[in-house]
Amino acid sequence: MADRDGLIWLDGEMVPWREAKMHVLTHTLHYGMGVFEGVRAYQTHKGAAIFRLEEHTDRLFNSAHILGMRIPWDRETLNQVQRDVVRENKLESAYLRPMCFYGPEGMGLRADNLDVHCMVAAWSWGAYLGEDNMRNGIRIKVSSFTRHHVNITMCRAKANGNYMNSMMALQEALRDGYDEALLLDASGYVMEGSGENVFIVRDGVLYTPDLTSALDGITRRTVMTLCDEIGLQVVEKRITRDEVYIADEAFFTGTAAEVTPIREVDGRAIGAGTRGPITERLQSLYFDQVHGRRDQHPEWLSLV
């Protein structure tokens, strides 16, 4: 990843990819206190466009606010920088990674003598969970790792340190031969994937967990809006593990994962054991939306 051509924006400058480095005493590297985003740009008939850029940047600022971190740039600048990074790297579509982190100015947990540094990188990234899986669905397993209790880490924040839990869950699932993990919350209710929100479908109605210890996903919000527009009901509620087992359909949503069908949970087929019809419809609407093929929500696409 570090050894490639291109430019990364770091603290106000476009830096050659290989030279975008920080010191080993970088505070966030030691304690995980930082915030980041995962954003995608898609090819549209008007050129590359970043999907829901403003909402992602708002979430970045909210994450920093939750952690008590002051980002030394305003929203407009970081929005412009994200457009610049896609354009300057000549990307037609991209995954973007903005991050704000504490530097190597000190090491104490007090963190009162630290500068906040910001970076934005972008690169080409295809289907996060694999092209075939987008058609056929993935096999997942309920994790032995529990999602954060709401008063242990702040789940509304997309914070670096929160992802240790995600990585342990994903690595366990992959080691056991599954494609992704499904994490339960501290009370045993279904919460989310390692980097995705989850939906189930039963009798034509969609259900998704309340946002307690799950991230307020922008893809989740997009799918809920799409459902509203095509007359599908979505209910946010506590969901049990066995409700997922007997769902007609299930899918994950995320910027990286987009809309990924789930065909099996803990060795039990979900519905017909393949991508369900509502999932397929939402997946295709989502791709139409992000590629600018729908008339609705032109404000969701920021041309670079």
Report the run of H or E that residue 226 belongs to, with start and end.
Answer: helix 218-229
Given 64, 200, 218, 244, the residue binding ligand PMP (CB under 6 A): 218
Contact window for ligand PMP (CB under 6 A) among 66-74, 75-83, 190-198, 229-237: 190-198
Range list of β-strands (E), 45-179: 47-51, 94-102, 116-123, 138-142
The smaller minimum CB distance to ligand PMP, of residues 28 and 255, is found at 255
Residue 278: closest CA among 241, 244, 245, 232: 232
The smaller minimum CB distance to ligand PMP, of residues 8 and 224, is found at 224
Contact between 184 and ligand PMP (CB under 6 A)?
no
CB atoms inside a 10 Å sphere around CB 29: 16
Work out how close the CB of 186 gets to ligand PMP at its nearest, in angstroms, rounded to a whole number. Answer: 15
The smaller minimum CB distance to ligand PMP, of residues 95 and 178, is found at 95
User: What residue has token string 């939402």?
Assistant: 282
Work out how close the CB of 52 gets to ligand PMP at its nearest, in angstroms, rounded to a whole number. Answer: 8
Contact between 271 and ligand PMP (CB under 6 A)?
no
Letters for 238-267 (x = contact with ligand PMP by CB under 6 A, - = none) are ---------------xxx------------
Contact between 219 and ligand PMP (CB under 6 A)?
yes
Q: What is the DSSP letter of 212?
A: S
Contact 253, 259 (CB under 8 A): yes
* 158: annotated active-site residue: yes
Contact between 208 and ligand PMP (CB under 6 A)?
no
The smaller minimum CB distance to ligand PMP, of residues 190 and 215, is found at 215
**Total number of residues binding ligand PMP (CB under 6 A)?**
15
Q: Helix, strand, or coil here: 286?
A: helix
Contact between 98 and ligand PMP (CB under 6 A)?
no
Phi then psi for residue 39, to 5 deg, are -130, 150
Contact 180, 196 (CB under 8 A): yes
Contact between 94 and ligand PMP (CB under 6 A)?
no
CA distance 139 to 155: 25
Given 179, 180, 185, 196, the residue binding ligand PMP (CB under 6 A): 196
- Residue 223 CA neighbour count, 13 Å, CB half: 33
The smaller minimum CB distance to ligand PMP, of residues 102 and 128, is found at 128
Residue type at 262 in one-letter notation? I
Contact between 195 and ligand PMP (CB under 6 A)?
yes
Q: Where in 140-179 is the site for ligand PMP (CB under 6 A)?
A: 166
Which tokens hold the place of 80? 């412009």
Q: Please state, in angstroms and as integers, the Cα–Cα distance from residue 79 to each residue in 91, 280, 302, following that order.
A: 16, 32, 9
SS3 content of the chain, % helix, strand, coil (to 5): 30, 30, 40
Q: Where in 17-76 is the site for ligand PMP (CB under 6 A)?
A: 38
In DSSP terms, 13 is beta-bridged to: 10
Q: Helix, strand, or coil here: 222?
A: helix
Select which of 46, 90, 158, 237 is catalytic: 158
Work out how close the CB of 133 gets to ligand PMP at its nearest, in angstroms, rounded to a whole number. Answer: 17
**Chain contacts with ligand PMP (rule: CB under 6 A):** 38, 166, 192, 195-197, 214-215, 217-220, 253-255
Active site residues: 158
